[in-house]
């Protein structure tokens, strides 16, 4: 027997029972982004591998073990399914000179791919909405980004379930000084480091603190703190950011161990975290990456952005029952008799032109079974046409959810009748 065809592990179908929830959430995001002056950018899902290696950093979870990389058999190029959205967005910005005498506030939304162990809130194809604000030095944009994400939680009813954690990573020199102290500290604890930790001790010691290994938490907690190495400018940036967030009435906790999993961050970093989803608690994460555009071949320009894991926010919305019911159509059009399919189809087009959502019954079916389908569709009204109605140029409007009598009206009165009965 042929092998059963199945989706790839960790890559999920979104079926109609859930897709309306995605649509609801996505439209809330689009509205939010428009309200804050962001513009959409759409880049390819596949990019050349060196882009991600250069942008994300060689010694990171993503580049070391999570990328879907393959050889383009046509020309031997190494290609990668995008694991995140910043690299491709900035590649496009540089390639098309979008920062020439300009700043940009950009957003994207779509699938990302990481070869991870699938579990609740962690998938191999997942979806992110992300923004990149380019050409702004901050800290005002840093604060606006926090305000925007806080606004989203408020709009969705999630404010009480998420917590904002922030930190400053300073600049490159400050990180270098801290790095020395950190390596010295980690060398004293080399015996308890896990495999990742040992490998990163010299190549990327900050990442050792980003560990999810519970056995290393205490050691990581007591490690030298980057905040103690910040110079005046970095400190001022951080204090300015915090003052603005506070002035907006947004609560936060400072987490000195928040370093983020990707290499490109500096200064402001943040995560919105929930305790409601187990270990997969980060729903939105980002920060400043002032050197990245230059690193990708552009003229130096500051930047800040975040990525939001849509599945995790949706899980939270589902758990807290904050999602609307599936939207239903206004009308289910029931039709029976010789010539009824065409008569009904013309009427359906007329109703749609008047702004109503209509499902027309297709194919055969007894009057009774059609009415059952009308009921099951969730439509507010059945509009019924049979031999008598066709002969008279009329249709029956029958409210399905309200205790009101049905009415027989002329074709050009159907939409108006529905509007009146709805009101």
Question: Which positions touch ligand ATP (CB under 6 A)?
Answer: 84, 114, 116, 121-123, 126, 128, 261-262, 280, 282-283, 285, 307, 309, 311-312
Nearest distance, CB of residue 37 and ligand ATP, angstroms: 22
Cβ proximity to ligand ATP, 244 vs 262, nearer residue: 262
Nearest distance, CB of residue 123 and ligand ATP, angstroms: 4
Cβ proximity to ligand ATP, 137 vs 261, nearer residue: 261
Name the CA radius of gyration of the chain, rounded: 28
Residues in contact with 65: Cβ distance below 8 Å, sequence separation at least 6, in sequence order = 115
Cβ proximity to ligand ATP, 63 vs 99, nearer residue: 63
Nearest distance, CB of residue 307 and ligand ATP, angstroms: 4
49, 111, 404 from 117: Cα distances, Å: 22, 17, 55
Backbone angles phi and psi of 319, in degrees to 5: -60, -35
The residue to which tokens 């030298």 are assigned: 224
Cβ proximity to ligand ATP, 83 vs 298, nearer residue: 83
Nearest distance, CB of residue 52 and ligand ATP, angstroms: 12
Cβ proximity to ligand ATP, 126 vs 332, nearer residue: 126
Buried b / exposed e over 168-187, threshold 16 CB at 10 Å, is bbbbeebbebbbebbeeebe
Nearest distance, CB of residue 211 and ligand ATP, angstroms: 11
Nearest distance, CB of residue 84 and ligand ATP, angstroms: 5
Residue nearest to ligand ATP as judged by C-beta position: 309
Buried b / exposed e over 224-244, threshold 16 CB at 10 Å, is bbbbebbeeebeebbebbbeb
φ/ψ bin of 239: left (φ > 0), alpha (ψ from -120 to 50), beta (otherwise): alpha
Residues in contact with 160: Cβ distance below 8 Å, sequence separation at least 6, in sequence order = none
Cβ proximity to ligand ATP, 213 vs 280, nearer residue: 280
């Amino acid at each position: 027997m042929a092998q059963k065809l199945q989706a790839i592990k960790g890559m999920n179908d979104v079926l109609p029972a859930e897709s309306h929830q995605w649509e609801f959430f996505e439209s809330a995001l689009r509205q939010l982004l428009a309200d804050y002056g962001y513009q959409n950018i759409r880049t390819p899902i596949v990019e050349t591998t060196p882009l991600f290696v250069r942008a994300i950093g060689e010694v990171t979870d993503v580049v070391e073990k999570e990328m879907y990389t393959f050889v383009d058999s046509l020309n031997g190029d190494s290609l990668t399914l995008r694991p995140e959205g910043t690299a491709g967005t900035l590649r496009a910005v540089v390639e098309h000179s979008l920062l020439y005498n300009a700043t940009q506030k950009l957003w994207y939304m779509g699938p990302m791919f990481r070869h991870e162990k699938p579990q609740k809130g962690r998938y191999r194809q997942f979806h992110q909405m992300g923004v990149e604000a380019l050409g702004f030095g901050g800290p005002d944009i840093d604060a606006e980004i926090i305000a925007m994400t806080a606004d989203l939680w408020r709009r969705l009813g999630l404010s009480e379930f998420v917590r904002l954690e922030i930190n400053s990573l300073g600049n490159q020199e400050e990180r270098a000084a801290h790095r020395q102290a950190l390596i010295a500290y980690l060398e004293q604890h080399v015996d308890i480091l896990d495999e990742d930790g040992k490998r990163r001790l010299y190549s990327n010691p900050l990442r050792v603190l980003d560990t999810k290994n519970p056995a290393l938490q205490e050691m990581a907690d007591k490690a030298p703190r980057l905040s103690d190495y910040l110079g005046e400018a970095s400190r001022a940036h951080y204090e300015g950011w915090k003052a603005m967030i506070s002035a907006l009435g947004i609560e936060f906790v400072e987490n000195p161990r928040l370093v983020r999993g990707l290499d490109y961050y500096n200064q402001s970093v943040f995560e919105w975290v929930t305790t409601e989803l187990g270990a997969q608690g980060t729903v939105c994460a980002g920060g400043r990456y002032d050197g990245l555009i230059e690193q990708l071949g552009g003229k130096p320009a500051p930047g800040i952005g975040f990525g939001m894991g849509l599945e995790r926010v949706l899980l939270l919305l589902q758990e807290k029952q904050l999602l609307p019911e599936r939207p239903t159509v206004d009308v289910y059009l029931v039709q029976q008799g010789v010539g009824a399919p065409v008569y009904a189809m013309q009427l359906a087009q007329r109703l749609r032109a008047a702004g109503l959502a209509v499902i027309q019954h297709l194919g055969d079916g007894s009057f009774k079974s059609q009415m059952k389908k009308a009921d099951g569709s969730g439509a507010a009204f059945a509009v019924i046409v049979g031999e008598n109605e066709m002969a008279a140029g009329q249709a029956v409007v029958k409210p399905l959810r309200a205790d009101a009598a049905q009415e027989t009206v002329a074709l050009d009165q159907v939409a108006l009748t529905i509007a009146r009965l709805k009101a």
